[in-house]
Amino acid sequence: MQIETLLAQMGNRRDVKTGAVSLPIYHSTTFSHPSVGESTGYDYSRTKNPTRFVLEEEFAKLEQAPYGMAFASGMAAIDAVISLFSAGDHIITSKDLYGGTYRLFETIGKKAGVTVSYVETGDADEVKAALIPQTRALFIETPSNPTLRITDLHAMVKIAKEHNLLMIVDNTFMTPYCQQPLALGADIVVHSATKYLGGHNDVLAGLVATRDEAIAKEILTYQNTIGSALGPQDAWLLVRGMKTLALRMARHEENALLLAQWLEQQEDVTKVYYPGLPNHPMAEVHRRQASGFGGMIAFEVRDEAMVVPLLNNVSLFTYAESLGSVESLITYPAGQTHADIPKAIRESYGVTDGLLRVSVGIEHADDLIADLAQAFALVRRL
């Protein structure tokens, strides 16, 4: 079945008793047992909840995996994956990484004795050079947040297989609609479902998919032990949002391409990062592993003094953290999402004080371009 159909049908036909087309929300935290030693399959919602379970099963299908797990946030999902590692283990990850993941590695990871090397994973030789006997995993973001760097997933799978490493991909920017890393050979996929999957800036959630039963069991045990599962109301919101993912992603991409092309022509813009632009250095690699480019763009302005007045003068773009929703957002990575990364480190891979990131929504592209055009015009007059 095609992914558009799986998405639109999420939750339908799951409640055979009533025929409810919209997935029922089971708020119950506990479930009665038919008799001693018997269970309906549900005992206590931290372990398994009927609404969350439908989301998990249907999400797993999208990633072509037998196991899906839903968490209270993307960070809770990543934390559960990182719990697979113990003191002495080493992880190689993308240099240009979501700031929250960097913080997790540098705080909780470090405390647990897990060491991390940040390399340009777009360069397989850099990854190979960072391998040490204790290396257990590759943790990849592609495209990366915020400079949209691309990592060759086929090359990473090859390295992972050769060195017996777990290959983990944060697929937040692409969603399973555009990129399915497990089908390419990755072991674990994580998502901040708060972004494109939810799509409406109204639910915080994380998802993990894997094809490996032992990994799934270990992650589920961790989730059940610490209680980081997604609540039923949020699981329903996520299913509701995901039904329109295919339509939204197509429109995000259409708008993003138009905006990226327009930004490239602006004299105040010195760099535009978007994998859909033919001059993106890894455009070809991205095309081999993904079926779309998504709706995220980053661009650098001529003078960092323009950043604040630009942010103050956009009226349609909302100056806010996060991404992937129907409404267009503009973010200042150096001051927001990546503020926890030391300046010298973030600048070494392009997160400068003049970099802005836009999450292109599904509004009319003309209105989005007009908004940025008027903001640039105002800033030039200052």
Ligand X SMILES: Cc1ncc(COP(=O)(O)O)c(C=O)c1O
Catalytic (active-site) positions: 46, 98, 170, 195
Near ligand X by CB under 6 A: residue from 170, 234, 300, 371: 170
Under rule CB under 6 A, how many of the chain's residues touch ligand X?
14
Q: Cα–Cα distance between 98 and 272 in angstroms, integer?
A: 19
Question: 178 to 207, contacts with ligand X by CB under 6 A?
Answer: 192, 194, 204, 206
Minimum Å gap between C-beta 173 and ligand X is: 6
β-partners of residue 206 are 71, 192
At 217, give phi and psi (nearest 5°).
-60, -45
Cα separations (Å) of 20 from 13, 15, 23, 27, 56?
A: 7, 6, 7, 16, 19
Q: Which of 286, 260, 277 is nearest to 365 (CA)?
A: 260
Q: Cα–Cα distance between 281 and 290 in angstroms, integer?
A: 16
* Of 52-60, 97-105, 265-273, 354-362: span binding ligand X (CB under 6 A): 97-105
Q: Cα–Cα distance between 339 and 106 in angstroms, integer?
A: 14
CA angle 58, 97, 292 (to 5 degrees): 50
Minimum Å gap between C-beta 348 and ligand X is: 19
Nearer to ligand X, 236 or 376 (CB): 236
Q: Cα–Cα distance between 312 and 305 in angstroms, integer?
A: 12
Question: 341 to 360, contacts with ligand X by CB under 6 A?
Answer: none
- 130 belongs to the binding site for ligand X (CB under 6 A): no
Q: How many residues belong to the chain?
A: 382
- 234 belongs to the binding site for ligand X (CB under 6 A): no
Near ligand X by CB under 6 A: residue from 26, 67, 98, 299: 98
Nearer to ligand X, 20 or 226 (CB): 226
- 79 belongs to the binding site for ligand X (CB under 6 A): no
- 141 belongs to the binding site for ligand X (CB under 6 A): yes
Interacting residues with ligand X (CB under 6 A): 73-75, 98, 100-101, 141, 145, 170, 172, 192, 194, 204, 206
